[in-house]
Structure 1
């Protein structure tokens, strides 16, 4: 009792000081709106099961009523307003999930005849293409008809003639479909969730070249608009590639139309390893540069004509035309989240010019985030949204403090040499700030860190802004005249320079390193700490450094699994004595890349077929493999004829065939049926026992989660679990 009384004055003083600080920065309160919306959206996606549809609206209505009766009570308002924003975010995410519900194929369909209207065509580096189809019809009655399907079409073989197809055409093709792939391991990229919010109910491969049934069959203004934009993108990309060869043209196309598919795999990897991958994605950098160049260029040109400059508001005219071009550029790029955010912010800034108002940058970012979170709540959990807003918020927050000091220094040092030095300082600082802000989210999503990204960006970003983008704008102006080559050739020189920088920096020692997993909870704590640091302006903002440090420190608490197995029991990975992953060579490229990124580097040795591993703990024969780990015997069974012999004496059994109780004396048994029902498994072996995590358990009971559907029983054959083929074809990690 005495202790509680002694603490009361301390608590009172702390609350009073906190209230004073909050009131002193009340103009920054609205900036927290997207943060609390994001908390509500994050809560929805973090739930282990789909909540009843009435929970969110009831909470929302209750909080609205409570807030209406809290007038004049500041403390109550400060509690209820954030709670209401959280409820709005939660309801928005659940509503969006329900609205995007669409049929999903239940299992591998086998070969079938597929008809549909082409929604999008993406050219691939190998000469093939990826086609998204809608308005589908199938020749099999027992297959669920999805709303959309994405299939990969192989390149045309020599001597084979393929009909050209574009968006809006109805085509027929023989193909195999399958459900959108589930994560390769618990915690990995969930393409099935991504596909759910795109209404993509199937992915697959074409077994031949598509047959054109009719051209331009899509109807309605929305379809016409989408088709027109896609056709324009592909037409511009084709004309760029006709002038600029290889990766020079492919990167130029990515910078102007957002189409990254033609870029070769080695060049794309070089951009990733050098930290320049953000240049390939049309985002704030490109939209801002383009709109700024249009605004300044048009105003400068009109200023040269006295009759216009003296009689008309050329500044407002330039701002209006810059808004239209920014909108055109955003739509042409396919409206990715970074481009949406940048267009919204740039548009508001230029709108402020039209209305003779002053725009507040941090508020623009906040409102841009609110619009995107309410329109597409699922973008919150994607790398594009997180990295884009992290970079912009960090830059604005930093320059709110740095800009007054830079202006004062520049006034005291008016020379051109000092100006050049200030520019270099700005480039370095901007690269450091944006790179640091986005690095943590890159680690969370990709487990990769580009060590030399600052150096690469210091060279490539100015080259892109001052050489490549101006020529790109001129290219757009010359396209209708058929004279785009005049601008593309010099633009290609700059792009080639950026390519050289990317390849050069990527070749440096340890240019990109694989880092440990950042837990989801650690990422959330880091983000909230970063929001506290960037939103407030007073000294108490630095309290946010503590949760940011704690979030990063959570990486040390993650232990990597000792054994991984895919959903069929075909692909295995075990941890060797030196801590590396020994993978048995099956499962596909995407699965191997995911396992090695998230669970450790791959061992240099090959999986033994009828011999032992180098450390002597793994031995394989025709029946399967025996692995000894920390005093336990683990049997990896692949023989269905004598399962009892294969798992005799084992403590843990992982089987690619149904066991049907054949290994009853074993402590832990995971057979083909378990893998089919629960998806890929990850196992940890410790003194306290064996811990198992599955993809199904990690996903929870959500609409996009894997729900096994047994095949219909045949009279002559026993029921067997359906095979989930490895679907490396459409993983968009």
Structure 2
């Protein structure tokens, strides 16, 4: 009886919100994409398309029923996401270097360049690598240069002595997977130059190659002129806003932006695209309104909308089309198209449309922090303003100029609060960080960006072709200085941010489902989305961190002591891996193993040849020298070594050089047992 009543209530709620069903289409597609990437092995290529066709047939056959066709269509969205991920993976598949090689003279055409805080980085295509067969040669290779002055121009063909290897795998389970990102970007190798860049051919071949090279040269030239006119941290931030390249921003400034909750200002997303489109829209409309004959006889609002749409699209091309920008341009374009058709441009359907297009086009973007935080913030903002907009509009209509100014400031604060709450779970999951004063920082930085920096950004775009950018760039630099100082002061406040331990892998999907349920529905049952969010946050209390960790080369190891803190085998080896391990542990520092004696709270005993770690009834040999491997195999349950273990090792688990190379560090570790 109770089950029947519950099902009846559920059916009633669903029927009452049938106009919101369409908003779940991108959610179903996302579930299919996530299911594909969660599989341990590649499924047969026909799986997704066949499932989609079968579900279409089932929906047609069951069309006379009520619930069956809807269930089939819901499952169809999942199958479409799965199929899109399979097709995307197959379409971008390219050779990947199997091992590190070099130094070798790489010959290739420069696809893109990045100026770094120290040195530079280039992306090479059309490659020729000695001792690598053409069918095994990667499509793209990324190489770091020590001297930024050696950066070649995009489109040039160059030869560089370099050491290159396969893209790095995650240094810990659940950590950032650069290898996956590189795979979908077509990058099959990364490395560093060991000699000077030699120009081989200055002119790109083919119209498309020439067009792409020209666009990259324009972006690079803009960054150079910004650096010459402003320079320093301000020049790096301006270059990020105008060209999409964040690589020239000093690391300390980036840390301040992250710690203050202002990192979103450096990612070209809804705020920037909306400002560009809005400024162009109102400027064109105001100019057209000054001409009486045009204002009276032409649809100046629609003309301004077309101009704004073109400006947003050009801005996306200039900054390199990152995922948040594509999402914002799609939403902005749909909103402006609604103006052209005399429809309401603000709706949750905008974000559903953008999400559907992006996930089908680039399914792998669903797994990235940029996609998740960008869409999470926008969905939460639209959902919140759907609720409060009627009251907010009435208050603005009934109050005077001072009250409207106060409401504007309150709107900035409310927007910051909502966006911060929506993005905090993603920040905790991906970056193990929580910012507490983001609202205060955004109260200063967002108005400065909206009314000072971005308007001057448009002026700089218009002035650069005529060489008149110095004055507006200087003014823009002053505004950026205010933003940088706001970030620095906020990040330096006591308790401005806090590191937290990494969440289990299932926590984010649980919280995301709860957030979507809370945001998409409009009736009382939307509140049922709150418990999953709370449950996901409570997973922080789950203690499932590994006791032993080993980096890819086996040079750095870490063990956990009785208090739960990490202790590292070295302060110098594997610094990047150590930083990631500590951050995912929610810690800033760790102890170091002794050369002789005991450590890790007495759980570690070391001598000149290695250490023995005892925990939960297990003895683990952490070898520093191959001379003791035979002895370790006889006394230890587990043997870990950067050298090859002897054949017939009697230990129950052996993690040596060959296993690390075969499985990588994320599949070779020993997690806590019973």
Instruction: Give runs of aligned pairs for residues 226-241 of structure 1, distance below 5 A.
Output: 226-241=212-227
Q: Given the alignment, which residue of 110, 133, 136 partners 2:102?
A: 110
Task: Find the partner of 1:59 among 51, 70, 76.
Answer: 51
Provide the residue aligned with 1:132 in structure 2.
123
Alignment of 1:540-619 (within 5 A): 540-585=525-570, 586-601=572-587, 603-613=589-599, 615-619=601-605
What does residue 654 of structure 1 align with? 640
Q: Give matches, 1:314-463, under 5 Å.
A: 314-412=300-398, 414-463=399-448
Aligned twin of 1:266: 252
- Give 1:299 shift: 1.1
* DSSP 3-state at the match of 1:627: strand
Cα deviation for residue 555 of structure 1 reads: 2.8
Contact 1:580 1:603 in 2 (8 A): no
Q: Secondary structure at the match of 1:197?
A: helix
- Match of 2:147, SS state, is coil
Secondary structure at 1:204's aligned position in 2?
strand
Compute the displacement of 1:626 (Å). 2.1
Structure 2 CA distance for aligned equivalents of residues 511 and 619 of structure 1: 39
Task: Tell me how far 1:558 sits from its aligned partner.
Answer: 4.1
Is 1:92–1:377's contact at 8 Å kept on the other side of the alignment? yes
CA deviation vs aligned residue, 1:137-169 (integer Å, no higher than 9, x gap) = 01224683111100101116xxxxx66511111
The normalised TM-score by structure 2 is 0.96
SS of equivalent residue, structure 1 residue 251: helix
- For 1:630 and 1:521, locate their aligned partners in 2 and report how far apart those are by CA, in whole Å: 26
Distance in 2 between residues matched to 1:614 and 1:328, nearest whole Å = 57
- The change in CA–CA distance for 1:103 and 1:260 in structure 2 (over 3 A counts) is same
SS in 2 for 1:682: coil
The answer on whether the counterparts of 2:169 and 2:178 sit within 8 Å (CA) in structure 1 is yes
What is the SS of the residue equivalent to 1:35? helix
- Residues of 1 paired with 2:150 and 2:517: CA distance? 56
Q: Counterparts of 2:205 and 2:513 in 1: how far apart (Å)? A: 45
Confirm or deny: 8 A CA contact 1:169 1:218 kept in the other structure: no
2:268 to 282, 300, 312: 282
Q: Distance in 1 between matches of 2:654 and 2:94?
A: 35
1:173 aligned onto 2:160:
yes
Confirm or deny: 8 A CA contact 2:445 2:486 kept in the other structure. yes
The answer as to whether partners of 2:204 and 2:213 remain within 8 angstroms in 1 is no
What are the within-5 Å matches in structure 2 for residues 523-534 of structure 1?
523-534=508-519
1:640-697 per-position Cα deviation (integer Å, ceiling 9, x unaligned): 2342334553333212222224641x343322222222211332344x3xxxxxxxxx
2:177 aligned with 1:190: yes
* Counterpart Cα distance in 1 of 2:607 and 2:105: 42
Q: Hey, what's the Cα distance between the residues in 2 that align with 1:650 and 1:149?
A: 42
Q: Give the Cα separation in 2 of the matches to 1:138 and 1:668.
A: 38
Partner residue in 1 for 2:85:
93
- Secondary structure of the corresponding residue to residue 522 of structure 2: coil
Distance 2:89 2:648 in 1: 42
Q: Deviations over 1:199-228 (max 9, x none)?
A: 11101111112111111324232x233222
- Deviation string for 1:330-386 (max 9, x for gaps)? 111111111111101111111222232333421011001111011111111111111
- Within the candidate set 664, 673, 687, 2:658 is matched to 673
Aligned mates of 2:35, 2:573 — CA distance in 1: 33
5 Å-filtered alignment, 1:209-228, equals: 209-221=196-208, 223-228=209-214
Measure the CA separation in 2 of the matches of 1:613 and 1:345: 56
Distance 1:163 1:499, change over 3 A: closer
Q: Contact 2:235–2:477 (CA<8 Å) still a contact in 1?
A: yes
Q: Which residue of structure 2 aligns with residue 717 of structure 1? A: none
**In the alignment, which residue of structure 2 is the partner of 1:293?**
279
Cα separation, 1, equivalents of 2:584 and 2:503: 10
What is the Cα-based RMSD across aligned positions, in Å? 1.8
List per-residue Cα deviations over 1:446-498 (Å, max 9, x = no partner).
Answer: 11112221211111111111111111111111112211112111111110000
For residues 77 and 520 of structure 1, what CA distance do their matches in structure 2 show?
33
Report how far residue 600 of structure 1 moved.
Answer: 4.3
Is 1:122 equivalent to 2:120 in the alignment? no
After alignment, is 613-622 or 295-304 more displaced? 613-622
In 1: Cα distance, 2:575 partner to 2:291 partner: 60
Using the alignment, how far apart are the partners of 1:452 and 1:163 within structure 2? 41
Q: In 1, distance between residues paired with 2:601 and 2:9?
A: 61
What is the SS of the residue equivalent to 1:71? Answer: coil
What residue number does 1:47 align with? 39
- Describe the shift of the 1:259–1:164 C-alpha distance in structure 2 as closer, same or farther (beyond 3 A): closer
Say whether the 8 Å CA contact 1:109–1:178 is kept in structure 2. yes
Shift of 1:525: 1.5
* Superposition deviation, residue 602 in structure 1: 5.1
Q: Count residues with an aligned counterpart.
A: 670
Distance (whole Å) between structure 2 residues aligned to residue 35 and residue 329 of structure 1: 28
Contact 1:567 1:679 in 2 (8 A): yes
- Paired position in structure 2 for 1:23: 15
User: Take 1:408 and 1:529, find their aligned partners in 2: how far apart are those partners?
Assistant: 31
Matched, 1:207 2:194: yes
Aligned counterpart, 2:521: 536
Is the partner of 2:599 in helix, strand or coil? Answer: coil
| Corresponding residue of 1:74 | 66
2:481 is the alignment partner of 1:499: no
CA distance, structure 2, for counterparts of residue 187 and residue 177 of structure 1:
25
* Structure 1 stretch displaced more, 645-654 or 521-530: 645-654
Distance 1:348 1:241 in 2: 35
Gaps of 5+ in 2: none
1:464 equivalent among 449, 453, 460: 449
Asked if 1 retains the 8 angstrom alpha-carbon contact of 2:204 and 2:210, the reply is no
Distance 1:519 1:465, change over 3 A: same
Is 1:245 matched up with 2:236? no
Distance 1:216 1:124 in 2: 25
Residue equivalent to 1:637: 623
Distance 1:224 1:361, change over 3 A: farther
In the alignment, is the contact (CA less than 8 A) between 2:568 and 2:590 conserved in 1?
no
Distance verdict in 2 for CA 1:436–1:632, change over 3 Å: same
Contact 2:120–2:151 (Cα < 8 Å) also in 1: no
Question: How far, CA to CA, are the matches of 2:408 and 2:601 in structure 1?
Answer: 56
Scaled by the length of structure 1, what TM-score is found?
0.88
**Displacement after TM superposition at 1:176 (Å):** 1.0
Is residue 289 of structure 2 the alignment partner of residue 303 of structure 1? yes
CA contact (8 A) 1:163 1:211 kept: no
**Cα distance between partner residues in 2 of 1:360 and 1:62:** 36
1:714 aligned partner: none
